[in-house]
Amino acid sequence: MANTISYSPAYTIVPTYECFNRCSYCNFRTEPGKDKWLELSQARNLLRSQQNRGTLEVLLLSGEVHPNSQQRPAWFSRIYDLCVLAAEMGFFPHTNVGPLHREEMAKLRQVNVSMGLMLEQMTPKLLETVHRYAPSKIPQVRRQQLEWAGELQIPFTTGLLLGIGESEEDWWETLETIATLHCRWGHIQEVILQPHTQGTRQIWQENTFPIYQQLPEIVSKAREILPENMTIQIPPNLVLQPQILLDCLQAGARDLGGIGPTDEVNPDYPHPHRRQLQEILEPAGWQLQPRLPVYPQYDGWLPQWFRIPVSRWRERVAADCAIAEHAFDRRKNL
């Protein structure tokens, strides 16, 4: 059989685009008070459109409300209720809404199969440039999230944002931090290597080397640093040359992340359709395979109400794979 590359058939729900951070490369946020929050009835209609279309993951992605804001409890409750709604409608929620209080993480753990937060970069020097007006991008604040996720046994996704003013040495330091935390808790299922790709809404206009050209080299080094049981993910819509994507896979990347109608963080770069990806991957010997937003080694950590649907999905996939492998062997022997 061909080598397998996984992806998550996903749909993104955004409770609000309002965010108190002002990252100068952001193409997502709106000013606090300028966005109407998503109602549950609206979310229900959006999710209903995704039923019976193969969508597995519902990504809860939100702008951040300040930790001390009077709106924080209402914001968190909206996120929690949206997770419950997604689960009740047969989807698998994955939440990435910025740094949370430990108590908030513990509560969301009960209504998510996994959670995530980009570490981005551990270097504090970005607080003087692109993160100058982004208090929640303090490296130790984000590192603490990964620590708490391990303590709470939350299957976690993190990653690096590449090309925002950091150095190569900063990449390796950030990857070492992720590896150290995983070795302590064993909870980080995948690491995203995301190249910054300039969008039309960002403030930061500094000309930088197109970092995606270095991705295969970065993937190779990351594969040396990270434990073998952590998957490296590459966002295919941000890799602008198919050969570079194939080179990243050859270097050790094995996942393409959530693929859905829209990349809310990078709206100028739509996700490729599955058929487009297959046309790139299959001639090179790679087989695209859907996955859940939780990896199999973490099924024992799942809240009870997710365990049966996750188990049933894995059984169906295993049966389908067995049929496909049998058909492949028959063709090979003709």
Give one DSSP letter per residue of 233-293, joined into a string: E--GGG--SHHHHHHHHHHT--EEEEE-S--SSSTTSPPPPHHHHHHHHGGGTEEEEE--S
Q: Is the pLDDT of residue 331 over 70?
A: no
Q: Is 118 domain-assigned?
A: yes
Q: Is the pLDDT of residue 318 over 90?
A: no
The mean pLDDT value of the chain amounts to 93
Mean pLDDT in residue range 209-219? 87
Domain of 54, in residue numbers: 3-328
Q: CA 110, 112, 117: angle at the middle one, nearest 5? A: 115
Q: Is 95 domain-assigned?
A: yes
Percent of the chain at pLDDT > 90 equals: 87
CA neighbours within 13 Å on the CB side: how many for 268? 13
Mean pLDDT in residue range 16-30? 95
Q: Is the pLDDT of residue 77 over 90?
A: yes
Structure tokens that stand for 235 in this block: 């966002």
pLDDT given for residue 327 in this prediction: 56
Q: Is 333 domain-assigned?
A: no
pLDDT given for residue 201 in this prediction: 84
Considering Cα of 319, then 321, then 324, then 329, what sign does the dihedral take? negative
Residue 215 and residue 244: Cα distance in Å, rounded?
8
Structure tokens that stand for 320 in this block: 């389908």
Specify the length of the chain in residues: 334
Q: How many domains does the chain have?
A: 1
Residue 268 and residue 291: Cα distance in Å, rounded?
26
pLDDT given for residue 190 in this prediction: 98
Mean pLDDT in residue range 163-167? 94
Confidence of residue 198 (pLDDT cuts 50, 70, 90): confident
Pick from 278, 227, 317, 262: nearest CA to 46: 262
Report helix angle 215-225 to 242-251, nearest 10. 20
pLDDT given for residue 328 in this prediction: 47
Mean pLDDT in residue range 68-86? 97
Structure tokens that stand for 141 in this block: 């604040």
Q: Is 334 domain-assigned?
A: no
| φ, ψ for residue 302, nearest 5 deg | -70, 145
Mean pLDDT in residue range 157-186? 97
pLDDT given for residue 102 in this prediction: 98
Residue 320, class by beta-carbon neighbours within 10 Å (0-12 exposed, 13-18 middle, 19+ buried)? exposed
pLDDT in tens, 266-296: 999 999 999 999 999 999 999 999 999 999 9
DSSP letter assigned to residue 198: -
- In CATH, what number is assigned to the domain containing residue 271? 3.20.20.70
Q: Is the pLDDT of residue 50 over 60?
A: yes
Helix (H, G, I), strand (E, B) or coil at 185: helix
| φ, ψ for residue 61, nearest 5 deg | -125, 125
Residue 258 and residue 3: Cα distance in Å, rounded?
19
Structure tokens that stand for 245 in this block: 């994507």
Check: pTM over 0.85? Answer yes or no. yes
Amino acid at 150: G
Residue 177 and residue 142: Cα distance in Å, rounded?
11
Pick from 249, 118, 127: nearest CA to 196: 118
pLDDT in tens, 150-160: 999 999 999 99
Q: Is 324 domain-assigned?
A: yes
Percent of the chain at pLDDT > 70 equals: 94
pLDDT given for residue 317 in this prediction: 87
Q: Is 169 domain-assigned?
A: yes
pLDDT in tens, 95-142: 999 999 999 999 999 999 999 999 999 999 999 999 999 999 999 999
pLDDT given for residue 240 in this prediction: 86
Q: Is 259 domain-assigned?
A: yes
pLDDT given for residue 329 in this prediction: 54
Confidence of residue 210 (pLDDT cuts 50, 70, 90): confident
Helix (H, G, I), strand (E, B) or coil at 12: strand
Q: Is 22 domain-assigned?
A: yes
Within the chain, strands assigned E span 3-13, 57-61, 92-96, 114-116, 156-162, 188-195, 231-233, 255-259, 286-290
